[in-house]
């Protein structure tokens, strides 16, 4: 095989999937927490229009949610691994990854998700409810698409591994503690 048709060095599945899972969990938690605070999700999710559709923010599964993002992140990592020539190796691969996440995951998923074309067409949820969550998913997917390929291509950046590792540990810890509080198994101060 000549050098013009040779496949570039590929990254291993563990390197891609693990790093993607960690980055997804961290960005999901950080951007989710900021959005929860800025956009008053507790009140929005309590609205009768969403109350029967979305779990309330004090529900144990919502509190445990960030911990389970590792699974979603690993699944994203599988796809990124399979398409790494486009998303990691190619110049500006992060942009292709981000646009793919936006188009397939946000604007046009296979179901009527809030903020999607299907959601706008087939649900009775008002437009403002569709739009309120878009900044969160746009920013989170952007960070996932920027950080993951960079980290995979630059394993020598130990400082990045430390930062993501610490933030990941905190996200999982806070998720577990939040879940225990929501289940009533962890004491909280009374007001």
**pLDDT per position as a tens digit, 119-161:** 999 998 889 888 989 999 999 999 999 999 999 999 999 999 9
Rounded to the nearest integer, the mean pLDDT of the chain is 92
Classify burial at 30, counting beta carbons within 10 Å of its beta carbon; exposed 0-12, middle 13-18, buried 19 or more.
middle
Q: What is the Cα 135 distance to its own chain's centre?
A: 13
**Residue 105 buriedness (CB in 10 A; 0-12 / 13-18 / 19+):** middle
CA distances from 157 to 160, 164, 189, 190 (A): 6, 11, 41, 44
Residue (of 56, 63, 55, 36) closest to 182 by Cα position: 63
Average pLDDT over residues 4-27: 87
Contact (CB, 8 A) for 132 and 42: no
pTM score over 0.95: no
Write the pLDDT tens digit of every residue in 38-60: 988 888 878 887 777 788 888 99
One DSSP character per residue, the chain reads --TTTPPPPPPPHHHHHHHHHHHHHHHHHHHHHHHHHHTTHHHHHHSHHHHTTS--TTSHHHHHHHHHHHHHHHHHHHHHHHTHIIIIISTTHHHHHHHHIIIIIIIS-SS--TTSHHHHHH----HHHHHHTHHHHHHHHHHHHHHHHHHHH-TT-HHHHHHHHHHHHHHHHHHHHHHHHHTT-S-----
Domain boundaries along the sequence of the chain: 13-182
pLDDT at residue 1, as a whole number? 43
pLDDT of residue 4: 54
Q: State both tokens at 45.
A: 């999710």
Mean pLDDT, rounded, for 157-178: 97
Instruction: Return the minimum-mean-pLDDT range out of 17-21, 102-106, 184-188.
Output: 184-188
């Amino acid at each position: 095989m000549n050098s013009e048709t040779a496949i570039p060095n590929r990254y291993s599945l563990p390197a891609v999937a693990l790093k993607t899972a960690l980055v997804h969990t961290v960005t999901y938690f950080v951007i989710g927490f900021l959005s929860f605070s800025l956009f008053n999700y507790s009140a929005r999710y309590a609205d009768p229009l969403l109350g029967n559709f979305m779990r309330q923010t004090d529900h144990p599964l919502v509190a445990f949610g960030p911990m389970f993002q590792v699974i979603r992140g690993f699944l994203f990592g599988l796809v990124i691994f399979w398409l790494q020539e486009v998303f990691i190796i190619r110049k500006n691969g992060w942009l292709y990854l981000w646009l793919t996440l936006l188009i397939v995951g946000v604007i046009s998923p296979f179901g009527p998700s809030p903020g999607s074309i299907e959601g706008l067409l087939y649900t009775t949820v008002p437009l403002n409810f569709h739009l309120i969550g878009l900044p969160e998913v746009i920013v989170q997917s952007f960070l996932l698409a920027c950080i993951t390929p960079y980290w995979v291509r630059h394993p020598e950046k130990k400082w990045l591994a430390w930062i993501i590792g610490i933030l990941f540990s905190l996200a999982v810890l806070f998720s577990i503690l939040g879940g225990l509080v929501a289940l009533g198994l962890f004491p909280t101060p009374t007001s």
